[in-house]
Amino acid sequence: MKRRRVLILAHDFSPAASAGALRATRLARHLPAFGWEPIVVTATHKASDAPGAPPCTTIYAHGIDAKQTLSWRGHYWSLLTFPDRFASWAITAAWRASQETRRRPADAIFSTSPPVSAHVAALALRARTELPWVAELRDPWNLLHPFGPVLRSIDARLARRVYATADRIVVTTGELGDRLRSSQGEAIGARVRVVANAHEESDFVDAAPAPPTDAFTLVHAGTLGGSYRPTDGLIRGIRLALDRHDLPQATRLDLLGVTAEVEPELRRAIDELDLARHVTVHPRQPHAKALQAIRCASVLVVLQNHDAFGSSLPSKLWEYVRSSRPILAVAPPDSAVARFLEDVPGAVLVPHDEPAAIAASLGRLAHAWRIDPIRAYARPDVVHRADVLAVSVATVRDERANATDR
């Protein structure tokens, strides 16, 4: 069978440790099994040289972070970050991808967001090549960009253009798919496919057993960089549970992936609550190190509080579930996180704005940990393998050809 080629436009890729990088990397790793050769256009340096990176061609496209590079004393012109702060990368990514198609013809395009600049690059490439295009949204379109009314209107038109042009729209949750179908109409809704996030089975099968720990350790693995994952309720709940003696003094919360944007305020809150001995703050960690922390945790913490992200699921959730560790989800009761965890053994849901309820849940989890600190939960029905996304991408070109024949 002749191997076909797909151009993957992904701002983040291996060796970056972001959720987007991991998903794109897993896609590139599994596509060859379905007869597809991935060519990745990315903003990540030295992707092909990274340990564990898939054996694929990577093309570096330069771009700047306009919010960081072009701001003056924290202020910047919002037009410079339209449609997002990596807009300059979209220009070079489209150009480099176009160069690649002239050198070696491709058979399909795949773009993934956030950032949505990847779809802008793909839209330009599609206009030139007419190749089948899969546009993936891991979160709703451009949620966190504070545009004024004029740019919001233009951004909405851009989103509709992407939805109308792409042959398939991949989303990561059923809730996000329902939102698209209701807002964009039947014609676009018919192109939507739900392909959930996943774990990489080899990360767990080949791993050594997690060592026991004498401390009651809470771990949040994943980016903490905005209001959609505030930690205030969680750390206040810890303080309250400690004061009530419901938590052992050897309690530790490890926050992995804290960005520079929120770190100063978070550290102030930790100091004010006298939790410096119990809460540690870390920047984003390499994936292998984050996995080790997940496997050694007494309890894994999910934070998903922003209303706009109610239809999204953190990508780490699948590794949480696969780890078989207890899970504390600090999230709204009507969120996708709440619905996903309803049938997950060992998962506890508590509202993010109720420190007393969080403290009570922590006390119960600590009590169970004292009885059996290494208890594992069997969760075979909610585990997804990373090769499922590859199937969705691998079939889109054939589906389009069949539709044309009819």
**What is the enclosing helix (H) or strand (E) of 4?**
strand 4-9
| Of residues 77 and 192, more confidently modeled | 192
Average pLDDT over residues 108-119: 94
306: its two tokens: 């922003």
Give tens-digit pLDDT for 313-362.
888 888 898 888 999 999 888 888 888 888 888 999 998 889 999 999 99
- Judge if the upstream peptide bond of residue 132 is cis by omega within 30 degrees of 0: no
- Give pLDDT, residue 227: 63
Q: Is 353 left (phi over 0), alpha (psi -120 to 50) or beta?
A: alpha
| Of residues 178 and 65, more confidently modeled | 178
Spatial separation of the C-alpha atoms in residues 265 and 262, rounded to whole Å: 6
- What's the whole-number average pLDDT of the chain? 84
Looking at the DSSP bridge assignments, the partners of residue 286 are none
Give tens-digit pLDDT for 39-90.
999 998 765 555 567 778 899 999 887 767 666 666 556 667 788 889 999 9
> For 48-59, b where at least 16 C-beta lie within 10 A, e where not — what string?
bebeebbebbbb
| Of residues 310 and 87, more confidently modeled | 87
383: its two tokens: 């585990």
